A and B are shown apart, each in its own frame.
Chain A
Amino acid sequence: MKPAISDVRATLRALPPDSLVLAMPDLPDPMARRIALAFLEDAAAQGGGHVMPWPRAQLLLGAAPGAAARAGEALHRLIGARPTTWTLPSEAAELDDWLDRLPAPAPQPTTLVALEAHCAALPMEEVARLTFFAEGPDPRAVAQRLAPADLPLEDPDLRAQARALLCRRVLAALTDPALRGRLPAMRPGLRLLLDLPLAGLPGGRMVGGGRGGRDAPIALLPLAALAEPRFPALAQGLAAAGWHTGFVSKDAEAAGLLVGGGYVLAAPPPAAPPALPPLGDAPRFIALGRDIPAWCRAPGLLWEVPA
């Protein structure tokens, strides 16, 4: 049973005078959250105090100043966030106030069975998302991406599995006249970007790619597809059917990983990655999200624009 906020307050009030409290608000990334907890535990092991994990924050009660400072610096280097430090009882009111303002964590479907059921039960209208992309300096949309809904899941593997499940539903709806009308309405004349699951393409082949060139549709695969032994055959099949291949990743770090051909759809890093492939028929980089840095508006790059 996780402690309630009243238990946390009672524990804080029971601390001896001049106690240090280190508090790290609940971080959205579970990896960063676990690392923060580990470093608070490390600080407790080195300098005393005890760690109280709580769904909205992780607290180190009764920390030693030196160990607390070291943990704070290390966390800043690692995850870019620093715990806040309070001295009790002089800052008790501020701490109370801070605790009150912490949002409750979003509930997560934590089991596979629940996730599968959720993905199967999602109404067709919510399964797919249509977004638009401009190319170069002109902000008019030239391309549209039909993608599975991005579920707010913390675990990267559960997120990847949800993407695969929803991708399959989108593909099934595209080929079913009864369901196609319930997908977001695609605009005629715009280049198509279509998210595909790595495995289980319908019928094992893609059709309808057209003649290639700058209007060729782009099949978007998870970046991890690149490490799959079957990837070369899959890319060859897509190319033969007139599709370009692109890679999807939610992370800005993805942009720096690829060399040569292919391109990445990612949250763009603030500066252009050094290894953007040469300009060809396929866009070199597709920038995802609403905060698009200026370098993404260069010729040959696609960037997301509001509908």
Chain B
Amino acid sequence: MSMALSGPEVGPQAEALALAALVRDCVTSGVERRALHLRLSALPEALRETRHRQMIDEVLAPVMRPTRARRFELPGGDLVIVSPPPGQHLEEVHAALSRLLPEATDGPLSTTMRLPAEGARLLSVVEGAMGLVLQRESASPTDVLPLPSATELEAALRALATADLAAALRNHPIWRLGDGQATPTPLWTETRVHLPDLMERLLPGASLAGAPALGRLFRRAAERRLLAELARPQVARAMDPACLPLSLGSVTETEGLRFDAALGPAGREQLVICVPLSDVLADPAGAALAARLARERGWTLGLDELEPWHLARMDLRALDPGLIRLRFRAEWLAGSVAERAALDASLPRDRDRVVLMGADAPVAIAWAWQRGITAFMGKVLDARR
């Protein structure tokens, strides 16, 4: 497996890359390893002098000598020692260093991990050290923008009826990458209208974040335009396997039903339409109708924009979605053992139906593989083709 990152051949950056490759190989092949992570980057400045480092090296020395242990120094100063099992010596060093090192407020400075079980956790350490920390969700700046007036919004909806959407369309491949495979195979191409672009163009300086119903009206108007375009016979006939994230209302709009008709049975067979969970909750009867329509016509209805805590609160059996799209969150790796167990328990049992979105870093893939999830959308996969 190769990573699409290039870097120096020696030094902490290279060592971090080598460690990431080793962890992924362990996850892929199932080879057991023990790892010790020393979070020296979190030491207070006063304890980072050369003599302190020499002390730590002295403690580590006996571990390195007799075994096949490998030592990696990461950017920022963290050390990771990887050794074949049973790794008794790592535990001893861990115990010795835990006594030696001061207590940090944000967690222990010395941690042992088992590979491949905790591969995702160790990869997140590596990526954190490399400055690849996944973007945590922050308050979006659009939240503070005012709602447009009804007159402005209505003008925007009218403009959408004839707008040229080409510049606002986004296509992304969705891949299958089985556990251990190096090269992904394409499953579907996602086509969506990028609403922020349209908002910027038609309602600059305004946001619909504060009024979900108005947001859905805007989205439906944009999708009517998209669906009218896709329903043109020459477009519909040439369509590859597609995943369309749509508002629930769009599925049964006149344009949506025309698109369904234009695809024909073969085209519908390879179509997935994913509707957001919020739309399902806003219109449960409409969602049930869309599920029946999907079965009747032969396309697949999926659920979009799901968070694991939704899955814990929802009973989706009546809807029986053929696909569930979850967006990967870096927080999933950071939670306590109990939190991670609760997350795993909430995942659908049929993992073949899950697509992990936002797979922008190898940790996401390692996390998914450990849970039997093999369908992805994200930058890491795109880079491998």
Q: Show the binding face of A for B, using Cβ within 8 Å.
A: 29, 31-32, 34-35, 37-38, 41-42, 45, 74, 77-79, 111-113, 115-116, 155-158, 160-161, 164, 198-200, 222-228, 249-254, 256-260, 262, 274-275
- B318 A31 Cβ-Cβ under 8 A: no
**Cβ contacts B296-340/A at 8 Å (1 or 0 each):** 100000000100001011111111000000000000000000000
- B278 A161 Cβ-Cβ under 8 A: no
Q: In the complex the two chains form, what is the Cα distance from A198 to B278 in whole Å?
A: 13
Q: In the complex the two chains form, what is the Cα distance from A200 to B253 in whole Å?
A: 30
Flag whether B220 is at the interface (Cβ < 8 A).
yes
Flag whether B285 is at the interface (Cβ < 8 A).
yes
25 contacts between A and B (CB under 8 A): A31-B289, A35-B252, A35-B289, A38-B254, A38-B260, A77-B292, A78-B292, A112-B150, A113-B154, A156-B249, A157-B214, A158-B213, A160-B213, A164-B211, A199-B210, A223-B281, A228-B278, A249-B284, A250-B285, A251-B283, A251-B288, A253-B284, A254-B281, A257-B280, A275-B315
CB distance from A1 to the nearest CB of B (A): 18
Known A-B contacts A31-B252, A251-B283, A253-B284; A161 and B313 likewise in contact (beta carbons under 8 Å): no
Known contacts A37-B254, A257-B318; 7 additional CB pairs below 8 A are A31-B286, A112-B157, A113-B154, A228-B278, A250-B285, A251-B283, A253-B288
- B154's contact among A31, A112, A223, A254, by CB below 8 Å, is which? A112
Flag whether B151 is at the interface (Cβ < 8 A).
yes
- B281 A257 Cβ-Cβ under 8 A: yes
Known A-B contacts A78-B292, A164-B213; A258 and B284 likewise in contact (beta carbons under 8 Å): no
- A161 B211 Cβ-Cβ under 8 A: yes
CB distance from B117 to the nearest CB of A (A): 29
Q: In the complex the two chains form, what is the Cα distance from A224 to B260 in whole Å?
A: 27
Known A-B contacts A112-B217, A249-B281; A256 and B318 likewise in contact (beta carbons under 8 Å): yes
- A158's contact among B217, B258, B283, B285, by CB below 8 Å, is which? B217
**Residues B214-270 near A (CB distance < 8 A):** 214, 216-217, 220, 249, 252-254, 257-258, 260-261
CB distance from A34 to the nearest CB of B (A): 6
Q: In the complex the two chains form, what is the Cα distance from A19 to B79 in whole Å?
A: 84
Flag whether B203 is at the interface (Cβ < 8 A).
no
Q: In the complex the two chains form, what is the Cα distance from A78 to B286 in whole Å?
A: 11
Among residues of B, the one whose C-beta sits closest to the C-beta of A38 is B257
